[in-house]
A and B are shown apart, each in its own frame.
Chain A
Amino acid sequence: MEKKGFEPKIIAFLCNWCSYGGADLAGVSRLQYPPNVRIVRVMCSGRVDPTFVFKALSDGADGVMVAG
């Protein structure tokens, strides 16, 4: 197997009404972006509990993004 460089895993908590809409629009518009980001849709970024961030990092995520 070919040796690859570091590929971070990023968990993104996206608000249904804005940032998730943006990500959805990126898909509809067929914009290409790296697959490192794993999106978790939340109904509001206010729903994101610090526990989610800790849990993501302790389960192996390299970065966490909260957008909304």
Chain B
Amino acid sequence: MSKLKLASYWGSACGGCDVAILDIHEKIVDLANAADIVFWPIAVDFKYSDLEAYEDGYIDVCLFHGAVRNSENEHIAKLLRQKSKVMVAFGACAITGGIPGLANFKKKEDIFARAYFDTPSTQNKGKVLPTTVLQMPEGEIDIPEFYKDVKCLADVIDVEFYMPGCPPTSEQIWNVVLAIVTGQLPPVGSFVGCEDRALCNTCGRTKTDKKVKKFYRPHEILVDPDSCLLEQGLVCMGPVTRAGCGNQCTGANTPCSGCYGPLSGVVDVGAKFIGALASVVDTDSPEEADKIISDVLDPAGTFYRYALPGSLLRRAK
């Protein structure tokens, strides 16, 4: 049997997923023994032309991280889909849009105006904006088209597996790599490297039925290390977030920000979290409830931090 062929690519991403893969440390040598890496822009020197030269289905498993922000992301996603037998949407950005997806709160024109005209460090007297094709004395330059919104990977290609996290933890990456190498992958469409239950199930903190009169930001209070963060008035996304991260944040007195994404069957994580948050508000009067909820800073950005393009809100209209 020939060696397994792996590819990894970043679309609109920060590179943290690549670092998380490298964080398997010396096991990367075991990985290299078990599989050939045939495309991985951040770590291995292959060009797009090498990828194009592969025959269809040449790559066994492709780990695609990053959202689809521009035409280059989409083009390479489609190319990798054609060349890969199994496509894994790797990390929050590829699954639900992730942090880059927060740009969907603004329109393309607003983003361009901010980036190219309004920022204090920008001097752009000619009001020049990027264009997809530019004629220069040396020839024509192509620049990828900036789409009007950020898309999830599954919006542009078929995806076999989803591996959540921002980034997925290195332990979970190694577990999934082992599953790939030994051919023990679950049914197509599954989430891998995580659990199918909420983070609260794996949280060791004591939960009571305590309700809150005020919400706080983490620096505003001394956090009790033993009791539920939500019941202490911290906006913890644990109730609506998939478990599997090893409770790294809640274990360090920091509320969950929801990077492992919504649970199976949830169509809109923000709506679910509104329900969860409302259930701990301690009041019977609508006015007081309004006041308590208004303590939550940037609710939309907090509840949809990793999942705006994958939610019902999707983008600014």
Tell me the B153-207 residues at the A interface (CB within 8 Å). Answer: none
Measured in the bound complex, the distance between the Cα atoms of B267 and A50 in whole Å is 11
B271-A58 in contact (CB<8A): no
Residues of B within 8 A of A51 (CB): 266-268, 271-272, 275, 312
Contact with A along B261-281 (1 / 0, CB 8 A): 000001110011011000000
A50-B272 in contact (CB<8A): yes
A50-B275 in contact (CB<8A): yes
Tell me the B223-276 residues at the A interface (CB within 8 Å). Answer: 266-268, 271-272, 274-275
Instruction: Count A-side interface residues using an 8 Å CB cutoff.
Output: 7
Instruction: Count B-side interface residues using an 8 Å CB cutoff.
Output: 9
**Interface class of chain A by DSSP:** helix
User: Which B positions have Cβ atoms within 8 angstroms of A?
Assistant: 266-268, 271-272, 274-275, 312-313
Instruction: Name the CB-closest residue of B to A57.
Output: B312
19 contacts between A and B (CB under 8 A): A49-B271, A49-B275, A50-B268, A50-B271, A50-B274, A50-B275, A51-B268, A51-B271, A51-B272, A51-B275, A51-B312, A54-B268, A54-B271, A54-B313, A55-B267, A55-B268, A55-B312, A58-B312, A58-B313
Whether A66 is near chain B, meaning CB under 8 Å from some CB there, is: no
